[in-house]
Amino acid sequence: MRKILVLVISTVITLGVMLYFNAIGAFGSDITPPPGVPDHLQLEGTHWYLQRGVWGNVRDDEVLLIAEEVAGVLYDAYSKEYMLRHNNEEQQLFIKASDNNGAFIYTNLEMLFISSSGTHWSIYVRQLSHELAHYATGGFYISGRHFWFDELICEVHAFYALDVLSEKWKNDAPRPNWAYYGKIMRNEYRARAHYYSIGIYEHELAELFKQHRQTLEESPMVEWDFDAGEVGGNDNVNRFINTLAAPIYESAFKDNPHSWDALKILYAMGDCEELTFEEYINEWYSRCNDDLKPTVKTIADFFEIEII
């Protein structure tokens, strides 16, 4: 009788383990990749593809879900149609793991790299939102003298995503046990906002910008040695001014749906290499309608730029 009982228990345990791993296979790392794009998962309704098997001790479907959550935040800001306006079978976006997060474009292959792994969902959210904000510009980055400002705006998106998703996950987390991670996102938002505000006040920004302006405007871009498969060049971009992302987000973007439409105007302007930063901001302001102008004016005030 004891042997029969042991056999039954062993069989039940074995079947349970098999069912568990079959479930993971049905909705996890063994999801069938899209045709023609091996080792990647496809974000729903897009030609965005997430690399598989590189995210540490979490399942691929969980990272895919995080990417779709971040994408949803940006869809709400800009509209899905706007975010995907350059995305098609010929112009695909690949989200990959790397020691260094960032983004670049090579011919028709657009690559977005993030350096998070495991269940550090707040880091995924921050990095994905920042890099996808580059994607929203229509070409990943504005090269040249205003690149530093593009970096600042992309960091604003990171605060936006942390803010929105930490609130959403209180009552509507994509997994039942992920409300806890929403609290972590909220804590990171607050901690980074506090850290970024230390020693950085509105009345100091203009002076800081003057001191570092040459470095900001003349630093060479990162160069990608595609044949060698590594980053080369001299990446001296001074991003200290990213520390102002939190107060700029909270004053110009938070609870202001018009702010994202103002950024569409900015992105449509292109590099504007011939313009000084003051001229660049004034040109942006002049192209906005009355609903959008307050966003630009708020940003201009941070830099003590006179709108003329």
Question: Which pLDDT tens digits describe the chain residue by residue (308 residues)?
Answer: 544 443 434 433 333 333 322 222 222 333 455 666 678 889 999 989 998 888 888 899 999 999 999 999 999 999 999 998 877 777 788 888 877 655 554 445 577 778 877 888 998 999 899 888 888 876 544 567 787 888 889 889 999 999 999 999 999 999 988 999 999 999 988 887 776 555 455 546 677 777 767 767 776 454 444 344 443 333 434 455 676 788 888 889 999 999 999 999 999 998 788 999 999 999 999 999 999 999 999 999 988 899 99
The structure tokens listed for 287 are 């192209």
Sorted by where each begins, the domain ranges of the chain are 31-302
Long-range contacts made by residues 225-229, C-beta under 8 angstroms, separation at least 24?
A: 226/106
State the pTM of this model. 0.79
Backbone angles phi, psi at 103, to 5 degrees: -150, 150
Strand partners for 302: none
CA distance 105 to 135: 10
Query: Which residue from 201, 14, 222, 185 is spatially nearest to 104, judged by alpha carbons?
Result: 222
E-strand ranges in the chain read 40-42, 48-51, 92-97, 102-106, 109-114, 223-225, 230-232
Q: Which amino acid is at 131?
A: E
The CA angle 182-188-191, to the nearest 5 degrees, is 145
Evaluate whether the domain defined by 31-302 bears CATH number 3.40.1350.
no
Give the count of alpha carbons within 13 A of 266, CB side only: 29
- Pairing of the two strands 102-106 and 40-42: unpaired
Residue 123 CA, chain-centre distance (Å), reads 10
